[in-house]
Amino acid sequence: MIILALDTATALLSVALSVGHDPAETWYVEIDAGQRHSELLMDLIDSLLKTANIVPTDVDALASMKGPGSFTGLRIGFSTAQGIALALGVPSLSIPTLDCMAVPHQHWSGIVVPAIDAKKRCFFSALYRGVCDAHTAGRLTDYMDADSVAIAQALNAVTRDEPVLLTGPDAELLASALNETPLFNKTLLRLDPIRRRGHAKELATLAQAKLAASSAADIAAELSSGLLYLRRSDAELRQP
């Protein structure tokens, strides 16, 4: 099965083309897009398809990030995936962003904490231990829009003096905030050395597992539920 995966959740725009279960059969491109996702996404998709010598009609499914993440970025990825899927007559599905950030560390010997800066001194995050798959096995908490104190309290509730790996584009910012929080043992914190990167490869992997485990009706129903924002946009919050 060939899956085209679009990660537009953060400034690090990435696209992956998975042509089988072997990671070596995944084509990948990543760029620090800032806020230029709408300008760059279609060109990246076209370039990747040409590099892999695959025509659009060969694609069996589209995958995009469900969120949380950038409001605008998520909408661009979600609508692009849906539009291409509709044109090709293939399924489109979305996967939670934090799951994609956690899954590369499924063999970590402690807790994994992906972090996306949600502004206002808060982070989009969740806590994981062990395998994270299409059914979110391994996720210990709900998806959170939380400050460092709330994240420290969540860690204290699940940790067994295990090392805590902070990953995701804003892991360093969360580490700094947790270091200022007297509620948590700072000696347990570790930073993922490649924390700031795109996650379209992981998106494709989790989408593959979800397609294999879910019915077409289940996938369609979940897609209709829309994106996982966790917080209303600033424009919505300013409305009376």
Q: Average pLDDT, stretch 135-164?
A: 90
Among 47-56, 114-123, 199-208, 215-224, the least confident range = 215-224
What pLDDT, in 10s, does the model give residues 198-219? 999 999 999 999 998 888 888 8
Distance of CA 90 to the CA centre of its chain: 22
What residues does each domain of the chain span? 3-96+197-238, 99-191
Total-model pTM: 0.92
Banded model confidence at residue 234, pLDDT cuts 50, 70, 90? low
pLDDT(132) > 80: no
Count CB-CB contacts under 10 A for residue 179.
12
pLDDT(77) > 90: yes
CB 185 within 8 A of CB 161: yes
- What percent of the chain stands above pLDDT 70? 92
pLDDT of residue 136: 57
Fold agreement (3-96+197-238, 99-191): yes
Which fold, 3-96+197-238?
Nucleotidyltransferase; domain 5 (3.30.420)
- Phi and psi at 122, nearest 5°, equal -125, 165
pLDDT(225) > 90: no
108 vs 28: CA distance, rounded Å: 24
120 vs 185: CA distance, rounded Å: 24
The first and second tokens of residue 148, run together, are: 């460092």
C-alpha distances in Å from residue 84, one per residue of 20, 112, 165, 169: 20, 33, 36, 28
| Of 63, 51, 64, 59, nearest in space to 87 by CA | 59
CB 73 within 8 A of CB 40: no
Which regions of the chain does DSSP assign to beta strands (E)?
Answer: 3-7, 12-18, 26-32, 61-67, 92-96, 111-119, 122-125, 144-147, 164-167, 189-191
Pick the CATH number of 99-191 from 1.20.1740, 3.30.420, 3.30.460, 3.30.2220: 3.30.420
Please work out, in degrees rounded to the nearest 5, the angle formed at the alpha carbon of residue 167 by the alpha carbons of 47 and 206.
55
